[in-house]
Amino acid sequence: MTTDPNLDSPRTAVSNPPVQPMQANLGPGDVVRASAMPDLPPPTRELTPVAKLIDVSKCIGCKACQSACAEWNDTYPEIEENVGLYENPHDLTPDMFTLMRFSEYENPQTGDFEWLIRKDGCMHCADPGCLKACPAPGAIVQYSNGIVDFIHENCIGCGYCVTGCPFDIPRISQKTHVSYKCTLCSDRVAVGQGPACAKACPTQAIVFGTKEDMLAHAEARVDDLKSRGYDNAGIYDPQGVGGTHVFYVLHHADQPSLYSDLPEQPRISPVVEGWKGVTKTLGLAAIGAAAVGSVLHGLMTRANKVSAEDEVHAEELVSGREPPIPPEREVL
């Protein structure tokens, strides 16, 4: 159960690449949703949903995932100043699709000092806010295996994905003017490989496989944590966005915000829903109605024409035969 080429997607990230040549196994026929393309043809097949599980309790903060990510995606995050924080770079950037975020937490129950390290990056929502907000046809796609991917040649750099995302993930490059984020290594998954970060993780805090397998694994991890005294350990797979294809095991699942402001109940903002829903539909309808209404009024009523009489009046007025100041007609 590793990289069988007959499988529709890899079941693990740890195995080595297949030695035989392999066709890319993720293509246009696997797209279930695409931005600004409401009439997308249905996918030609249904892939097994995949997921990346990040077990925060196992993370040692080594940043091997970040290095692997930059290496695989061939990005060169800018070298920054050390400002006394472990985060490096300071935030997700167009060249850094994943970031270890470090928070220091003094647990009031135990008095323990806890170092909560969360690998931040795209969550690959089942209901992606970026895709909903995007105005460019086909710039954001969702495959039937759950991966949400940016198709850069269709991106126009408007930043609407930033507005739509409930997790503050996409970053627009000031050089290329397109948006970047974690692809869940869709290009690796297409050829039977798990994501680079999962492959590089030395503690298996990041694991990859089918969503079903990953959920089972996560549950086992939660049980283990509970047996070790983490009573609030749990899975973060937020249903507000339909569940996610990158999800966490947290020791404090009751307080996700402890982990560098992981949203408590993420969902696509109602403001974004209103903008992309009723505003778009009603707005276009109102504009259409106004345009058609004007044309109909123009065709069905007589235009307001100046009469010859009006011209005579004007001449009389201008030549002084009618007093310029009207006899009390002003007040009506």
* Best CA proximity match to 215, nearest among 1, 50, 98: 50
Residue span binding another protein (CB under 8 A) among the ranges 8-16, 43-51, 113-121, 168-176:
168-176
Q: Site map for another protein, 3-42, x if CB under 8 A?
A: ---------------------------------xxx----
What gap in Å lies between CA 97 and CA 211, rounded to an integer? 21
Check whether 183 is labelled as a binding-site residue.
Answer: no
Q: Single out the segment in contact with another protein by CB under 8 A; choices: 19-27, 48-56, 133-141, 217-225.
A: 133-141
State which H helix or E strand residue 300 sits in.
helix 280-300
Instruction: Consult the annotation and say whether 70 binds a ligand.
Output: no
Q: 269 in helix, strand or coil?
A: coil
Q: Which two tokens stand for residue 80?
A: 């920054």
Residue 159 annotated in ligand binding: no
Candidate list 43, 61, 137, 263; residue touching another protein; CB under 8 A: 137
Site membership for another protein, residue 189 (CB under 8 A)? no
- Nearest distance, CB of residue 163 and another protein, angstroms: 5
- Between 60 and 314, CB nearer to another protein: 314
70 and 96 in contact (C-beta within 8 Å)?
yes
Task: Output 129 or 194, the one with its CB closest to another protein.
Answer: 129
Decide: helix, strand or coil at residue 50: strand
Give the CA count within 13 Å in the CB-facing half-sphere of 315. 6
The annotation status of 132 as a binding-site residue, yes or no, is: no
Two tokens, residue 115 = 């170092």
For strands 246-250 and 50-55, give the pairing: parallel
Q: Which letter does DSSP use for residue 332 in this model? A: -
Locate 93 and state its tokens. 């950037």
Any contact of residue 302 with another protein (CB under 8 A)?
A: yes
Specify the stretch interacting with another protein by CB under 8 A; choose among 17-25, 117-125, 226-234, 307-315. 307-315
Least distance to another protein from the beta carbon of 192, Å? 34
Nearest Cα to Cα of residue 52 among 302, 193, 245 = 245
Residues with Cβ within 8 Å of residue 169, at least 6 apart in sequence: 92, 120, 121, 122, 123, 130, 181, 182
- A 10 A CB-CB count for 212 gives 12
**Residue 101 near residue 87 (C-beta atoms within 8 A):** yes
Candidate residues 72, 160, 180, 259; the one interacting with another protein per rule CB under 8 A: 160
Size of the site for another protein (CB under 8 A): 59
Query: Considering only 44-52, 119-127, 230-238, 275-283, which stretch makes contact with another protein by CB under 8 A?
Result: 275-283
Only segment of 215-223, 227-235, 244-252, 315-323 that touches another protein (CB under 8 A): 315-323
Do the Cβ atoms of 264 and 257 come closer than 8 Å? yes
Q: Compute the distance between CA of residue 10 and CA of residue 48 in angstroms, rounded to an integer.
A: 10
As annotated, the binding site for [4Fe-4S] cluster includes 59, 62, 65, 69, 122, 125, 130, 134, 155, 158, 161, 165, 182, 185, 197, 201
As annotated, the binding site includes 59, 62, 65, 69, 122, 125, 130, 134, 155, 158, 161, 165, 182, 185, 197, 201
Residues lying near another protein in the complex (CB under 8 A):
36-38, 135-137, 154, 156-160, 162-163, 168, 172, 174, 177, 269, 271-272, 274-275, 279-280, 283-284, 286-287, 290-291, 294, 297-298, 301-315, 317-320, 324-326, 329-330, 332
